[in-house]
Chain A
């Protein structure tokens, strides 16, 4: 793990530094020098989603992930929700560590507290008493955000096989997240595989919950690649608290100002 970290960092910093040709498109800065390759990966991901992930997620949907109106905090939860809880719980030590690396001890403490509570009182993370009883909600983060806090540039847009939209910085972050995951240090190989499966399962329930939105973009858009890229970049930059341009259609060169 020790030699990997500086190498990954060096790679992302140099690669992101020589980003080729960022352009303003639709009011958003897009740096996509690998567009041709990205589009091939997108076609593959779209196929996987249509034939595997989507149908599985839609079957999960019946069970607690999105069932019925307004589930109340006291309602019993189904096995799918438990799997999602357990999967998310396993990501908390890594998130706590990233909080520390970002100089945000409050967020780190909240995630650590959640992990300690849900792993014990929550029966290995199947239940979420940290949020339900104490109001301790997750502070979502990753090493990609840590790199952003440290000032690494975003780098080129990438669409990764199976994983989906990313950037050079976030891809490096994912690699480092696996390397520095505190859980990885204490689990043996079969346990790591089980933990990985649970985390993939948790992602599948997210897909079920946001199913209509994802279907709408992937199947309903005239250019689902461009639409995915744009929406993902805008949302990611917002998450990281990075600057975005505010479109003013009244003063925009590309638009006739009908009020002048």
Chain B
């Protein structure tokens, strides 16, 4: 299995070399993406806007700098293969709003905090950007960002906070929400529009 994947990976990287665009992702590019995303997030946190408006701003930052398509797909798991493009698009939009609200609600913890990007390194087929979050009255937290250019743009697709993997956690959550609706994707989508 691993061998086969390794072999396919080799072909894929060969193909990537042939098609390599001039802006191919490197450590600096990955790091720049996270620096930019963090600057935008802190601008919203410090804007003093109403929370509901802030959640919409966070959602827009997420849509701009994260690979929402692959995150939403991965969170849904194998079911994403069975639904049509239109159904997936509605689910993806609902998922994006849910993430903006769910993680946006934590903004108060970040008032007066700072996150320092400390480095970037290649990992598997992507890049890992490491950072340290200094929050009030807490021990510094390790936050790692995974960045890929496989979408055609440099986008992050996972955040790991002190070992807690957002993609893994959302996979479990979406699976539970889907199970609660007996596998009905339309009902899951409706729930996601309210959740977070």
| Interface check A76, CB cutoff 8 A | no
Question: Which A residues from 224 to 256 make CB contacts under 8 A with B?
Answer: 226-227, 230-231, 234-239, 244, 246-252, 254-256
Looking at A15-23, A115-123, A215-223, the stretch in contact with chain B turns out to be: A215-223
Looking at B22-30, B55-63, B169-177, the stretch in contact with chain A turns out to be: B169-177
Residues from chain B with a CB closer than 8 A to the CB of A59 are none
Given that A223-B176, A231-B169, A251-B9 are contacting pairs, would A69 and B163 also be in contact in the complex, using a CB cutoff of 8 Å? no
How far is A248 from B12 in the complex, measured between Cα atoms in Å?
Answer: 15
Closest CB in chain B relative to A16 CB, distance in Å: 21
- Interface residues on chain A, size class: 35 or more
| Interface check B91, CB cutoff 8 A | no
Contact with A along B71-106 (1 / 0, CB 8 A): 101100110110000000000000000000010011
Contact A249 B71 (CB under 8 A): yes
Contact B163 A209 (CB under 8 A): no
How far is A222 from B125 in the complex, measured between Cα atoms in Å?
Answer: 32
Question: Which B residues from 138 to 163 make CB contacts under 8 A with A?
Answer: 138-139, 142, 146, 148, 150-152, 157-158, 162-163
Contact A249 B73 (CB under 8 A): yes
| Interface check B126, CB cutoff 8 A | yes
Residues from chain A with a CB closer than 8 A to the CB of B167 are 27, 247, 249
Contact of B172 among A26, A239, A258 (CB under 8 A): A26
User: Of B77, B139, B157, B172, which is in contact with the most chain A CB atoms at under 10 Å from its CB?
Assistant: B172
A-B contact count (CB 8 A): 124
With CB as the reference atom, state the residue of chain A lying closest to B142. Answer: A238
Given that A239-B163, A254-B78 are contacting pairs, would A249 and B157 also be in contact in the complex, using a CB cutoff of 8 Å? yes
How far is A221 from B157 in the complex, measured between Cα atoms in Å?
Answer: 22
User: Of B69, B81, B111, B169, which is in contact with the most chain A CB atoms at under 10 Å from its CB?
Assistant: B169
| Interface check A25, CB cutoff 8 A | yes
With CB as the reference atom, state the residue of chain B lying closest to A255. Answer: B74
| Interface check A55, CB cutoff 8 A | no
Question: Which A residues from 21 to 58 make CB contacts under 8 A with B?
Answer: 25-28
A sample of 30 cross-chain residue pairs with beta-carbon separation below 8 angstroms, ordered by A number, consists of A26-B169, A26-B172, A66-B137, A70-B111, A71-B136, A140-B139, A216-B106, A220-B195, A221-B176, A222-B180, A223-B173, A227-B172, A230-B168, A230-B169, A231-B169, A234-B164, A236-B163, A238-B142, A238-B164, A246-B123, A246-B146, A247-B168, A249-B70, A249-B167, A250-B70, A250-B148, A250-B157, A252-B74, A256-B81, A258-B151
